[in-house]
Structure formats: structure tokens, C-alpha cells
Amino acid sequence: MKRVLIIEDEKSIAELQRDYLEIHGFAAELEHRGDACLRKALSGGYDLVILDLMVPGMDGFELCRQLRAKTEIPIIVISARSEETDIIRSLGLGADDYMTKPFSPVEMVARVKAHLDRYERFAGRAGRQRDIITIRGLTIDKGARRVHLDGREIHLTAKEFDLLAFLAGHPDQVLSKSFIFEQVWGLDAEGDLATVTVHIGKLRDKLEADPANPQYIETVWGAGYRFRA
């Protein structure tokens, strides 16, 4: 049974999330303070974290940053803050998804399932054979989930790796933001295209000698992105 940690200080909302997750076969635990949650989340045993940005005890953005620095499990941010800057900042700090309150509990469960499914498949828990992609000094080991550039290991978050592996697996193809989001995140792309933009930017910062003139991930204006083989 998959375990989900819910970080939410509004009791009614937290209990609603827990009830819907348990109905659909998940084990869900509640935590109301950010500082206590960080210790609990990093103790291991959880498969996904649902994080509200406004919990007491620690700034929600800082909590997201520290979680992502020490674990690769999916993080879904749920917040009443709907400003685009908050969404982009959360994704930039390593969150895999962002939902704005009020939200549909059914949609929340669907997103939890999609992120867990993606995480497991890309992590290779089914024991698939090693799959290595090598392109102009860049080596992507999908089995080990490791990336090297000119012999130097590049450290990526789980979702950054998923995105890179997907793009590199479709070389020289122009892929729209909506298609990328649907394939990598496994969700309906409507309203979530900023997620792709943010993660592409983070990949360029880590892979490109000059992110403003990328050699691996090109922008095709008005169409999407293309990974150069």
C-alpha cells in the first residue's frame, strides 16, 4: 500500500484529502506543522508528499526546497495562492505539481496516482533492462537514473530526469508543451504548461554551457521544444 504524507494545517481539508486517498487504497498520514513534517518525510517510508504552502513552523517554499534536496519522491503543492509567481517558484524549487484551492478531491487522487505511476515507471522498479542514451557527450542511464556530461555527473531531480529522458528518447522531433506535460506528468495539460517551461529552464541551466543558446534542448517558437541529436 502506497503511503502519502499530507502537510496541511486546515483540519477539514486535511481530513478530506485523507478520506479520499484511503477510499482509493492509499495509506495517508496528516501533519500540521512544517518543521515536524520535514523530519517525518525524511524518515523514509512515504511514496508521495502533499504540501500546503501556508503551514506553520516553516516557510512552505523552504520546506519544498529542503524536501527536494533530500528525496526524489513526488511532491504535490496544494495552496490557496494562485499567483503565477507562486506556481513557478514552487515548480522551480522541485515540486512536481501545483493545485489551487478549492480543488476537486477526485482530481487530487487522479494526480497522486499519475505521479506515483510515473515515478515508479521511470525509476525502473519493474526491473526493466538498462537503457543508456549517449548524445554528444551527454550520457543518460535510464536504468540507474544517472546523467553524465563530458564525464561529469549532473544531479537532476526526479522530474527533471524524467523530462530529459523523454526528450532524448524522441530526438529531432518537435514536441508541444501540452504533449510533453501529458507524457511526462501523465495529466491533462490544461493550465499547467508553466510546469514544462520551468523544468526546461532548469535542465538548460544544468546541461548547457550557454543556456541562452542551448545546444541540446531547442525552443521551436510557436510549436514547442526539440532535443537535438
Q: Can you list the domains of the chain with their CATH numbers?
A: 3-123 (3.40.50.2300), 132-227 (1.10.10.10)
CB 21 within 8 A of CB 63: no
Question: What pLDDT score was predicted for residue 128?
Answer: 47
Q: Across-strand partners of 133?
A: 140
Q: Can you list the positions of beta strands (E) in 62-216?
A: 75-79, 97-100, 132-135, 138-141, 146-149, 152-154, 174-175
Question: What pLDDT score was predicted for residue 126?
Answer: 43
Question: What pLDDT score was predicted for residue 187?
Answer: 67
How many alpha carbons fall within 13 Å on the CB side of residue 9?
A: 15
Question: What pLDDT score was predicted for residue 188?
Answer: 60
Q: How many CB atoms lie within 10 A of CB 36?
A: 14
Listed as ranges, residues in the chain with pLDDT below 70 are 44, 123-130, 187-192
Distance CA 150, CA 33 (A): 43
pLDDT digits (tens, 9 = 90+) for 59-118: 889 889 888 888 888 999 998 888 888 888 999 888 999 998 888 999 999 999 999 988
Residues 38, 93, 120, 150, CA torsion sign: negative
